[in-house]
Homo-oligomer: A and B are copies of this chain.
Amino acid sequence: MTSANQVKKNGNIRAKSQVKILTAARTEFVLQGYRGATVQSIADRAEMPKANILYYFKNKENIYHAVLEHTLEMWDEGIGDIEADKGPKVAIEKFIEAKVRMSFKHPEASKIYAMEIIQGAPHLKDYARTYQRQWVREKAKLFQQWIDNGEMANVDPVHLIFLIWSATQHYADFETQILTIMNRADFEEDDVQQVITFLCDIILRGCGLIK
């Protein structure tokens, strides 16, 4: 076996192990919180010895950082952006749909983010201060232009973004409560579609974009 192949094979093992660890860790961090999730519990869930976990990530905080980063990346990619070119109605519709679908598909991603923010965002202050604040300002400006052009009702653009965020992520973060109240074991595609329809209906009408 050549040295190049050796590296590749080892790289594969490394990559696979890391994904396995991150997946297990994400679940543990959601279920138990940062402090409550132990390296041992992550190891058990990943079906690896504890020492291997620490071999790949050195320490617990590094695991958490990797989970956060991995999660935010996946989330942002899955949502995409608000598209300006087709007007406010399509833009808001598409954005709501993407966020609702992600909430049902990857509730853990939203949950881990939510817990981080609730606890005061100790690892994400910079993320909000730079990336997110900029994003909100950009989109708010876009909404304001549509409002000024008379294309939608005069509603506060920043709070509109908060409303869409909260209403959509609620189905991920409060999954447990919603299932219990609706007396259901799982969600199905029909439920997802119904939520999309409901939220688009209310919010678009609320923005004066449908009658």
A→B interface (CB under 8 Å): 30-36, 111, 114-115, 117-121, 125, 128-129, 132-133, 136, 153, 155-156, 158-160, 162-163, 165-167, 169-171, 173-174, 176-178, 180-183, 194-195, 198-199, 201-203, 205-208
Quick one: which of B153, B170, B202 contacts A207, CB cutoff 8 A?
B202
Q: Indicate if the CB atoms of A166 and B174 lie closer than 8 Å.
A: yes
Q: In the complex, which residues of chain B have a beta carbon less than 8 angstroms from the beta carbon of A180?
A: 121, 125, 128-129, 132-133
Given contacts A33-B34, A114-B118, A121-B177, 19 further A-B contacts (CB under 8 A): A30-B119, A31-B120, A33-B35, A33-B119, A34-B36, A115-B115, A128-B176, A128-B177, A129-B180, A133-B183, A155-B201, A158-B181, A159-B194, A159-B199, A160-B202, A163-B198, A202-B202, A202-B206, A202-B207
Q: In the complex, which residues of chain B have a beta carbon less than 8 angstroms from the beta carbon of A198?
A: 155-156, 159-160, 163
Alpha-carbon separation in the docked complex, A201 to B133 (Å)? 25
Q: In the complex, which residues of chain B have a beta carbon less than 8 angstroms from the beta carbon of A195?
A: 159
Task: Give the nearest-CB partner of A168 in chain B.
Answer: B166
Lowest 6 CB-CB distances: which A-B pairs, in order?
A33-B33, A35-B36, A166-B170, A202-B206, A206-B206, A128-B180
Known: A35-B35, A115-B115. A208 touches B205 (CB 8 A): yes
Quick one: which of B31, B118, B133 contacts A30, CB cutoff 8 A?
B118
Alpha-carbon separation in the docked complex, A195 to B159 (Å)? 7
Q: Indicate if the CB atoms of A178 and B160 lie closer than 8 Å.
A: no
Q: Indicate if the CB atoms of A181 and B133 lie closer than 8 Å.
A: yes
Task: Give the nearest-CB partner of A197 in chain B.
Answer: B156
Q: In the complex, which residues of chain B have a beta carbon less than 8 angstroms from the beta carbon of A155?
A: 198, 201-202
Known: A121-B177, A156-B194. A203 touches B206 (CB 8 A): yes
